[in-house]
């Protein structure tokens, strides 16, 4: 521990000195670095598990389990799903973002909220609505349709934010150089959307790999559905584990692809000064088609789930509102979401702190590892925790501790991103200024940094809670016997085709998610303000 020598100043004659243990304001102590390392090691458990199982199984078994027709089928299905869904998501999100952000569409602000609204509806509730609306809906077409409707907001949010903060002088310069509006859009606007499209596209791709409930409902096999099926029929046998390994490889491939496509280009504004906001483009004769497009989209992405849901609620009447079943599910969901969000945020703190206060190669490796682990689907994380608890920590198997650990592993990147942004609001210089004004380092930390970072951290916590409320796969595989969240209760009823009984749980999930979705939308708008 370092020590500082301070003059006490109250001796007569000769100055007297006292030695105080000290923490320099804004410094990163070994404790914080150690904690960051510890969290990262913990986060690497699932990757370690995949490697460990592969080594234990031996190469011949790994070969036999990986290179078989079934894996080929799943791979083709998964790649087809991504190949069709991703371009559609990009097309619709860019179109909707341009119309709502850059044109003079009547009620653009309201449309923008409505386009983001599907985020409040869990993906498996989307498919529940569509399947009960059109029972014959199944296979690749259904999977692409429902995935596109459910996941467009993941791309819409970053694309809309980028469009809002683009420097208008670039488009004006292109126009003054003789380029028509469409050419300006293609040559100047689209290249600047590349980062947003890459980031949002990766998020969509990872969700396509990780989603379970949606594809079971539309009877479309992916790696995730196959792993859960294997797990349910043969527990955690090597077949499920190897599928999880291939799935993890797919995730890392998408991560690598995103890095490759993103490139090293710089898209930030060149020059100084503050960018103006661009005047809205007049739609003129295109106003009606644009309104029809937005209305059609909202009808499919929000209208169908909501109308179907209320249809089932009406059909079920009061009998489906069984307080004895619903109240505990709400309580357990809120408990898991609250505790999980706090734990994930606390775990993210040392990594986010290191990222802002001591950036460097080691910190970048730590952060990168956490993002890589965070890209793993819930099913992989759950399977690894089942294996680990069964083999070396049996008392923890199917306990609340394991579920919470899974939540931390799954939502750590989300917490890191939010915390990092909020810590950046409190630069070290402010803490140093407080110290120079007589505050002790801890007092300066509390009164300046914590106060400034708290709103962002709380918003981050809310986003993690939103993820936990809608989490199905890991909760289903790890929750203690008898434990029921809204998601697992919904799934239990809808799996038995009792859609009416499932409806209240779906509605409650949506009601819980709505304010958090609103928060996410508002946060993105605020950050993107020019």
Partner 1 sequence: MSGILQLNMVSKRYGRVQALDAINLRVEAGSRLAIVGPSGSGKTTLLRMVAGFDTPDSGTVQLGETCLATPVSFVPAHLRDIGIVSQDGALFPHLSIAQNIGFGLPKDTPGRDKEIAQLLEMVGLEQHMLARKPDEISGGQQQRVALARALARRPRLMLLDEPFSALDTGLRASTRRAVADLLSARGITTVLVTHDQGEALSFADQVAVMRDGRILQAGDPRDLYLRPDSPFVAAFLGDALILEATIRDGQAQTRLGSIATATATVPRPATIVLRPEQIVLQPGREGGEGCVARIAAVEFGGAGSLVTLELVGPFADGGPAVVLHRNGLADLRVGDIVSLSVVGAAHVFPAGD
Binding site for partner 1 (CB under 8 A): 167, 169-170, 172-181, 184, 187-188, 191-192, 194, 265-273, 279
| Composition of the chain by helix, strand, coil, percent to 5 | 80, 0, 20
CA distance 193 to 191: 5
151-to-115, 116, 147, 166 alpha-carbon distances in Å: 11, 10, 6, 24
The tokens describing 298, both together, are: 């909202």
CA distance 215 to 221: 7
CB of 184 or CB of 404, closer to partner 1: 184
Nearest approach, Cβ of residue 530 and partner 1 (Å): 14
Nearest approach, Cβ of residue 172 and partner 1 (Å): 5
The tokens describing 479, both together, are: 């929750």
CB of 159 or CB of 464, closer to partner 1: 159
Q: Give residue for tokens 């380029």.
A: 179
The set of residues, in sequence order, having a beta carbon less than 8 Å from that of 197 and lying 6+ positions away, is: 90, 94, 155, 158, 159
Which backbone phi and psi does 4 adopt, to 5 degrees?
Answer: -120, 150
| Local structure of residue 278 (DSSP, 8 states) | P
Task: Say if CB 362 and CB 404 are below 8 A apart.
Answer: no
The set of residues, in sequence order, having a beta carbon less than 8 Å from that of 332 and lying 6+ positions away, is: 483, 484, 485
Nearest approach, Cβ of residue 112 and partner 1 (Å): 22
CA distance 490 to 503: 7
Nearest approach, Cβ of residue 267 and partner 1 (Å): 6
DSSP letter for each residue of 408-432 = HHHHHHHHHHHHHHHHHTS-HHHHH
CB of 102 or CB of 357, closer to partner 1: 102
CB of 195 or CB of 410, closer to partner 1: 195
CB of 159 or CB of 330, closer to partner 1: 159
Nearest approach, Cβ of residue 192 and partner 1 (Å): 7
CB of 116 or CB of 174, closer to partner 1: 174
CB of 68 or CB of 276, closer to partner 1: 276
CB of 132 or CB of 192, closer to partner 1: 192
Nearest approach, Cβ of residue 279 and partner 1 (Å): 7
CB of 23 or CB of 194, closer to partner 1: 194
Give the CA count within 13 Å in the CB-facing half-sphere of 467: 27
CB of 52 or CB of 267, closer to partner 1: 267
Closest by Cα among 303, 233, 320 to 494 = 320
Q: How far is CA 98 from the centre of its chain?
A: 23
CA distance 280 to 100: 10
CB of 267 or CB of 371, closer to partner 1: 267
Q: Is 285 helix (H, G, I), strand (E, B) or coil?
A: helix
Q: Give residue for tokens 């198997």.
A: 397
Nearest approach, Cβ of residue 198 and partner 1 (Å): 13
Looking at the chain, how many residues does it have? 530
Nearest approach, Cβ of residue 277 and partner 1 (Å): 13
Across the strands, what pairs with 20? Answer: 4
CB of 171 or CB of 211, closer to partner 1: 171
Nearest approach, Cβ of residue 272 and partner 1 (Å): 5
Nearest approach, Cβ of residue 264 and partner 1 (Å): 10
CB of 268 or CB of 288, closer to partner 1: 268
Q: Which long-range contacts (CB under 8 A, 24 or more apart) does 303-309 make?
A: 304/129, 304/130, 304/133, 304/149, 305/118, 305/121, 305/125, 305/126, 305/129, 305/130, 308/128, 308/129, 308/130, 308/132, 308/133, 309/125, 309/129, 309/503, 309/506, 309/507, 309/510
């Amino acid at each position: 521990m370092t020590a500082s020598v301070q003059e006490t100043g109250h001796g007569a004659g000769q100055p007297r000195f006292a030695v105080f243990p000290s923490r320099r304001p804004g410094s990163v102590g070994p404790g914080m670095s150690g904690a960051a390392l510890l969290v990262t090691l913990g986060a690497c458990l699932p990757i370690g598990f995949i490697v460990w199982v592969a080594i234990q199984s031996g190469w011949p078994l790994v070969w036999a389990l990986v290179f078989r027709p079934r894996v080929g089928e799943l791979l083709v299905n998964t790649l087809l799903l991504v190949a069709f869904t991703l371009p559609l998501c990009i097309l619709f999100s860019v179109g909707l973002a341009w119309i709502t952000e850059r044109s003079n569409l009547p009620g653009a602000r309201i449309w923008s909220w409505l386009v983001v609204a599907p985020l409040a509806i869990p993906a498996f509730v989307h498919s529940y609505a569509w399947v009960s609306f059109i029972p014959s809906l199944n296979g690749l077409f259904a999977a692409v349709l429902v995935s596109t409707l459910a996941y467009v907001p993941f791309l819409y949010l970053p694309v809309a934010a980028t469009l809002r903060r683009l420097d208008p002088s670039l488009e004006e310069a292109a126009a003054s150089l003789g380029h028509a509006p469409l050419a300006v859009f293609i040559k100047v606007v689209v290249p600047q959307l590349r980062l947003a499209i890459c980031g949002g596209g990766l998020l969509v791709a990872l969700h396509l790999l990780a989603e379970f409930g949606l594809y079971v409902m539309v009877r479309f096999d992916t790696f995730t559905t196959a792993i859960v099926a294997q797990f349910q029929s043969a527990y955690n046998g090597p077949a499920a584990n190897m599928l999880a390994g291939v799935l993890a490889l797919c995730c890392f491939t998408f991560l690598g692809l995103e890095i490759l496509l993103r490139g090293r280009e710089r898209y930030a504004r060149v020059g100084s000064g503050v960018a103006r906001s661009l005047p809205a483009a007049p739609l003129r004769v295109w106003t009606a088609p644009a309104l029809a497009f937005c209305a059609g989209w909202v009808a499919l992405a929000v209208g169908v789930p909501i109308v179907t849901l209320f249809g089932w609620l009406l059909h079920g009447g009061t009998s489906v509102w069984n307080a004895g079943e619903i109240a505990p599910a709400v309580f357990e969901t809120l408990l898991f979401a609250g505790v999980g969000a706090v734990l994930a945020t606390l775990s993210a703190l040392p990594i986010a702190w290191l990222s802002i206060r001591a950036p460097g190669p080691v910190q970048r490796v730590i952060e990168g590892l956490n993002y890589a682990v965070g890209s793993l689907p819930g099913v992989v994380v759950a399977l690894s925790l089942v294996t680990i608890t069964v083999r070396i920590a049996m008392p923890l198997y199917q306990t609340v501790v394991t579920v919470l650990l899974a939540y931390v592993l799954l939502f750590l990147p989300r917490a890191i991103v939010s915390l990092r942004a909020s810590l950046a609001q409190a630069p070290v210089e402010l803490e140093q200024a407080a110290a120079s004004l007589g505050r002790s380092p801890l007092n300066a930390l509390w009164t300046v940094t914590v106060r400034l970072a708290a709103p962002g951290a709380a918003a981050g916590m809310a986003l993690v809670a939103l993820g936990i409320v809608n989490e199905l796969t890991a909760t289903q595989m790890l929750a203690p016997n008898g434990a029921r969240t809204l998601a697992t209760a919904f799934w239990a009823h809808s799996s038995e085709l009792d859609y009416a009984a499932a409806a209240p749980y779906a509605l409650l999930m949506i009601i819980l998610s709505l304010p958090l979705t609103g928060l996410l939308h508002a946060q993105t708008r605020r950050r993107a303000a020019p």
